[in-house]
Structure 1
Amino acid sequence: MSHPTDFPGSHGNTCERKSMFKKKMYVAGLVVGLLVTTAACGGDDEKGADGKSLTKIVQVNADPGLGATTAFHSSVPEKLGYFKEEGLSVETRGVQGADAAAAMVQSGQADIVQAGGPAMVQFAGDKDDSLVAVYLNKSHSFRFVVPEDSDIKTAADLKGATIGVLAMAGPMIQYGKAVVSQGGLDPEKDVKFLPVGLGTQAAAAFEKGQIQAYAGADSFNSVIGQLTGQTMRVISVPSDTLPAFGGWLVRREMIEKNPEAIIGFIRATLKGLTFANANPEAAVKIHWERYPTSKAADGDKPEVLAQWAATIKERIDLAYLGKGPDGFYGTADEKDLAGSLQFQVDAGILPKMPDLKQLVDLEFAKQYNDFDESGPLDSAKNY
């Protein structure tokens, strides 16, 4: 198997720290999904197939409700034994916001987090407790939506509109402002942003006419559509397909102290990704069984299950199902990465072009890509 796409740096293996890819980005707040693992330590009584104690980790996701779009990196690899095959016992928690999740990793309360652009870079640096991206996503799942029957067709049509956001700080409003800017408008003068939360609050804001658009993530937007009984239409802009936007992050010291946990965790989620992409309905069922509070109130209806399966499929297609030019998941071309960052600078999402020397280290890409996809595909087919 060939080595991943090289950035300045040298090849290496798990024991020898010869970094294949090290880069650093300074961003300020978009998030696609968040994953965290607590300080790795031996499991109490849980044993792996080899009789050894499982390494216990905790992943924290930026979706506080742990919606079904988190299935491929939580419930699916847990249910199908992918985590256990890697010698891991994984607990999943939902928290409010990517910044909070990334801060947990930096403080040592957790060890790995999946964060997008700004939130990722906000916690990156040269210190031992700063974060390093060990995997890069294909893109992101932020989307700006309006009801299907809205007169708003393009970002330029947003002039005078009130746009709903989760809160007046954080990645959602930053992305919303970037979309408005791409329509040739001034996000500070030509539109108004209104914090309406998510779910029922956001749906009610649409129904009362308080907002005409919503800047959120795919899963949030799907819930709003379900609650309002309307199809939500995406206002497409160039930033929808920013490459290498976000990824799996760990503290710098974890690369030295517990590389096997990093490799095993990501490899297990890639197996989960393969399964969920092949059978998203099964992934939804597995997730709702594991996290019943995440199940939609009318989740027993076939059409609701189908809608959530479609949302999972969309999330995977938008943000995760893509390989670098070397054929590996989690890698990217340096030019694409730099272009993505420059776009964010130009759109005002980032304050300045970041230094790409420190943030990204894809030393382990070859190892976490070393799995047989036929296993998860067979499981998906026969589940």
Structure 2
Amino acid sequence: MSTTSTATRPARARRGVAAASAGVVLGLTLSACAGATAAQQSESGKTVFRYQGGTGTVSYPELADDLGYFEDVELEWIGDVTGGPASIQAAVTGETEFGGAFNGAIAKLQSTGAPVTSVISYYGADEKTFGGYYTLEGSPITSARDLVGKKVGVNTLGAQWETLLKEWLAREGLTPDEIAQVELVVVPPVNLEQTLREGQIDVAALSGVVKEKAVDRGGLELLVDDTDLYGSFAYGTYLLRDDVIAKNPDAVEDFVQGTARAIRWAQTTPVEEVRERFTTIITERDRGETTDLVPYWKSSSLPTPGGVIQEEEISVWVDWLEQDGQVEKGALQVDELYTNEFNPYADGTFAPDAGPDGEEVAP
């Protein structure tokens, strides 16, 4: 597997018509295309990239900004978001310049003809950082089949945890009719643990620092985690609209290189130092947040240096969507959905094992 694949920018005309289930997103996409404009310039002459953040967490673009890795880009926070689908919809409609989500949700969006391209991975799973489906200790639910007729709490529909659940159930031999009997309940991430402990749902999909905090309190049992299904793997990417890429190529290159270097900084810096930096960033931005989640950060969760996108991290979900009937077979060409051309760890600027400034790092 190569970590230096450089897919070209997408040729949207070669894409097929999306499945009917994507019609709502298609309408949203068409209205967005009519009103999309170039990114604005700040008083200092930098290109402004509006974005949505996460309460009590630090994203890699925010880390890059704090580390001084951007030269041409100025970030503008417009609020927080709780799920990937909402994040990428904001990017499509022009509310923000970039958004991030599960790659399967992005592929579904792209199947509608949405003019967006993934440019860098930003979250995944590894041996230190992973998510999974949890029950309460002593629950009679111990297998995939036990979920038939039960309620599973997820942060949003049409994203990673719905897709992974269906994949696991299918691998365990459940029929489509049986899988349809597993009820998905949308619960905000910060409320998933409490909702599970109160018995309002039977299983909760927990990930990130929210999962770490819940597990630390005890009383939970893991059914299956995402590394059981795909191993060390990147699950989500940041995307930009193609008009942003076309009209602001220098700023886009700066955004990706800075974000990649921030990811690499987190990958090569001692955990405690990363946590200290996150705490400082959250405290100094003064949004009335808590830093309680920071101590639960363990790793970048990304398998490649600087978030370089690997083809199979996209293709596996395209295949899944086709098999599930959500996307017409052949409607999506994987190499048109993403690009590594701006990433210094893929385009030859930095060696794959280099640090955030191109210096050699210990293996």
* TM-score, scaled to structure 2: 0.71
Relative to structure 1, the CA distance from residue 165 to residue 183 in structure 2 (aligned partners, 3 Å threshold; closer, same or farther) is: same
Distance 1:265 1:77 in 2: 9
User: Once superposed, what is the RMSD of the aligned Cα atoms?
Assistant: 4.1
Whether contact under 8 Å (1:155, 1:235) holds in the other structure is no
Whether contact under 8 Å (2:88, 2:101) holds in the other structure is yes
Which whole-Å deviations, capped at 9, do the CAs of 1:113-163 have from their partners, x for residues lacking one?
Answer: 222223313432696x72122335685666323346656444344345432
> Shift in Å at residue 214 of structure 1?
0.9
Aligned residue number for residue 295 of structure 1: 290
Whether contact under 8 Å (1:20, 1:363) holds in the other structure is no
Counterpart AA for 1:291? I
Whether contact under 8 Å (2:117, 2:239) holds in the other structure is yes
Whether contact under 8 Å (1:155, 1:182) holds in the other structure is no
Distance 2:344 2:355 in 1: 18
Mark the runs of 5 or more structure 1 residues left unpaired by the alignment: 10-18, 30-37, 47-52
Distance 2:3 2:135 in 1: 43
Whether contact under 8 Å (1:132, 1:360) holds in the other structure is yes
Aligned residue number for residue 81 of structure 1: 68
**Matched length:** 324
Whether contact under 8 Å (1:172, 1:215) holds in the other structure is yes
1:175-186 equivalences under 5 Å are 175-185=164-174, 186=178
> Shift in Å at residue 254 of structure 1?
2.2
> Higher mean Cα deviation, 283-292 or 366-375?
366-375
Correspondence 1:124 to 2:113: no
Distance 1:217 1:101 in 2: 18
Distance 1:194 1:374 in 2: 42
Which whole-Å deviations, capped at 9, do the CAs of 1:271-305 have from their partners, x for residues lacking one?
Answer: 21122232333333332333244435xx3xxxx75
> Shift in Å at residue 242 of structure 1?
8.7
Whether contact under 8 Å (2:209, 2:297) holds in the other structure is no
Whether contact under 8 Å (1:105, 1:113) holds in the other structure is yes
Distance 1:173 1:20 in 2: 27
Distance 2:325 2:204 in 1: 18
Aligned residue number for residue 332 of structure 2: 355
Distance 1:329 1:109 in 2: 25
* TM-score, scaled to structure 1: 0.67
Relative to structure 1, the CA distance from residue 71 to residue 361 in structure 2 (aligned partners, 3 Å threshold; closer, same or farther) is: closer
> Shift in Å at residue 239 of structure 1?
4.2
Distance 1:165 1:225 in 2: 17
Distance 1:231 1:20 in 2: 44
Which whole-Å deviations, capped at 9, do the CAs of 1:36-92 have from their partners, x for residues lacking one?
Answer: xx9533222x4xxxxxx332212224x4x2x43x44331x22222112xx3222134
Aligned residue number for residue 321 of structure 1: 303
Which whole-Å deviations, capped at 9, do the CAs of 1:300-344 have from their partners, x for residues lacking one?
Answer: xxxx754x132xx1xx22xx2326xxxx842424x6743442234
> Shift in Å at residue 267 of structure 1?
1.3
Distance 2:356 2:341 in 1: 25
DSSP 3-state at the match of 1:43? coil
Mark the runs of 5 or more structure 2 residues left unpaired by the alignment: 23-36
Whether contact under 8 Å (1:143, 1:218) holds in the other structure is no
Whether contact under 8 Å (2:5, 2:346) holds in the other structure is no
Whether contact under 8 Å (2:97, 2:241) holds in the other structure is yes
